[in-house]
Amino acid sequence: MSRISIAVNKALSDSPLGSAVLKSCDLSTNKRNEVIAELDDFEETRKQAREVRQFAIDNLESLIDLFTKNFEAAGGKVHQAADERDACGIVLELLKRRNARKGIKSKSMVAEEIGLGEALEHAGIDAIESDLGEFIVQLAGEPPSHITAPALHRSRQSIGKLLSAKLKFPYTDDPAKLTKEARGHLRKRFLTADFGIAGANFFVAESGHLVMVENEGNGRMGFTTPPLFISITGIEKAVGALPDLSPMLRLLARSSTGQRFTTYTSLIRPTRPGEDGPGEMHVILVDNGRREAIADPDLREMMLCIRCGACLNICPVYKSVGGHAYKSVYPGPMGAIWSNIVGTPTAESAELPDLSTLCGACKDVCPISIDIPRMLLELRGRRPKGAIESSAAATWKWTMSSPERYETAGKIARTAGMLLPNGLPGGWLSGGGSSYREDAPDQGEEPANE
């Protein structure tokens, strides 16, 4: 059994996890459906959003250059990182230069992707997560299980237990009280941090803005309070100009959390001398396999993804097992593809496209209409095949290439199905009986109904 199969079965036997995941996913999907239904121009907006993303990917290098020019003209600095090591190296170098030891981190999947948490820890730098969900999983020593709701796999009670033990306050599972405790703890850190680090949802080429969408205000604290701010994001997050944000922002929160708009939407530019804000601002644009995917005609479409998480919430597989079962930073339908694009794909990530029923709900719900099932099939085709499955496929092809062999195989299967107590695996052919073709009308030259 593969590690993924083991993790899947483990998740299936964890019923508190199962019910927490199912409840959160269904809640998000229902809320998403409600606020999408309010838009009478949803399909039109969706089309625009896709065009914005397509334009960005088709013109990526020039948009990156333009963004770099504009962001740097305003006093910031843009770095390009080829891979994980490179990206972590740039962050560490920037921190070292300012002797920054204590930081505050806001949510970033790219930081997870490049293993930044580990790299910082290794370098003896204390970076605390400030997004509540990320803070919870950091305290628990777990990776996030969802790209927008990192602690979605945990029940309110388990969060209550964890926070009260770690932050030393009397147990409660009241979300408002728990949030207040975490906030009190984090606030001190914000005020004393040497640096802030965060992800970005978009970067705008023409205006040189970073865009950050969040609900807790921790992101905004992170780029306003400490003297150094580092934004780390994927190269594909470009959009051309500010008006391009309109369809993106209309769809992102709606698709993600079922909100019309998130509580905080920040458009960030480097501050000028004398202005309030961090004195130093950097953006690290991470490639880590993205350019290769853009050059790959069959996977390029995945680069349109805006990481809303709607495909996770609606996926019958994700809803049943949660994110940790995927054994990858990026879980769910988009994750099964993304995990084969970024970093160094492994034998395990190659297996992820199989962890899908191909039901197509992901494509249906995607605000960019990304054809996820098509790419899952493409990656299934590319995956190296084992000896057993290869010989099964060869046998299937051989049998099905001849009506006589097919008929014989069918008879054997039906007899086996009849003889076995519960039919063939899956309960198939338990009734025995004859096939349609055994009783079908004879095919002469004459039509069958005359």
Partner 1 sequence: MVAGWSGRVDPLKVQLFIPCLVDQAAPATAHATQQILERLGHEVHFDRRQTCCGQALFNSGFRLEARILAERFVQIFSEAEAIVSPSGSCVSMVVHHYSEIGLVGNLRDDCERLKSKVFELSQFLSMNLPFPSGFSSFPHSVVYHPSCHLNRDLGVKTEPLDLLSQIDGIRLVSNDLPVECCGFGGAFSAKYGKLSQRIADRRAEALEATGAEFVTGGDDSCLGHIRQSLRRIGSPMRVIHYSRILAG
Note the residues at the interface with partner 1 (CB under 8 A). Answer: 5, 8-9, 12, 316-317, 320-321, 354-361, 363-364, 377, 380-383, 385, 389-390, 393-394, 396-397, 399-403, 406, 410, 413-414, 425-429, 433-437, 439-441, 443, 447-450
Smallest distance from partner 1 to CB 442, Å: 9
Distance CA 435, CA 136 (A): 57
Backbone angles phi, psi at 50, to 5 degrees: -65, -40
Compare residues 51 and 364 and give the one whose CB is closer to partner 1: 364
**Most distant CA atoms of the chain, gap in Å:** 93
Compare residues 267 and 400 and give the one whose CB is closer to partner 1: 400
Distance CA 121, CA 428 (A): 53
Smallest distance from partner 1 to CB 45, Å: 21
Compare residues 38 and 450 and give the one whose CB is closer to partner 1: 450
Smallest distance from partner 1 to CB 6, Å: 11
The tokens describing 80, both together, are 């390009």
Q: Alpha carbon of 127 to those of 124, 130, 132, 192, 225: distances in Å?
A: 9, 9, 14, 12, 15
Do the Cβ atoms of 317 and 141 come closer than 8 Å? no
Compare residues 276 and 442 and give the one whose CB is closer to partner 1: 442
Smallest distance from partner 1 to CB 396, Å: 6
Distance CA 297, CA 308 (A): 23
Q: Alpha carbon of 63 to those of 206, 239, 302: distances in Å?
A: 8, 8, 18
HSE-up of residue 408 (Cα within 13 Å, Cβ side): 9
Smallest distance from partner 1 to CB 46, Å: 16
Smallest distance from partner 1 to CB 383, Å: 6
Compare residues 274 and 444 and give the one whose CB is closer to partner 1: 444
Compare residues 165 and 420 and give the one whose CB is closer to partner 1: 420
Smallest distance from partner 1 to CB 421, Å: 13
Do the Cβ atoms of 322 and 21 come closer than 8 Å? yes
Do the Cβ atoms of 328 and 348 come closer than 8 Å? yes
Compare residues 259 and 320 and give the one whose CB is closer to partner 1: 320
Helices H, strands E: what count in the chain?
Answer: 22, 10
Residue that has been written with the tokens 């309010």 in this structure: 38
Distance CA 23, CA 174 (A): 17
Smallest distance from partner 1 to CB 305, Å: 19
Q: Which helix (H) or strand (E) holds 286?
A: strand 280-286
Smallest distance from partner 1 to CB 8, Å: 5
Burial of 59 (0-12, 13-18, 19+ CB in 10 A): middle
Q: Which helix (H) or strand (E) holds 294?
A: helix 290-294
Residue 238 pairs in a beta bridge with 203
Compare residues 273 and 426 and give the one whose CB is closer to partner 1: 426
Compare residues 250 and 414 and give the one whose CB is closer to partner 1: 414
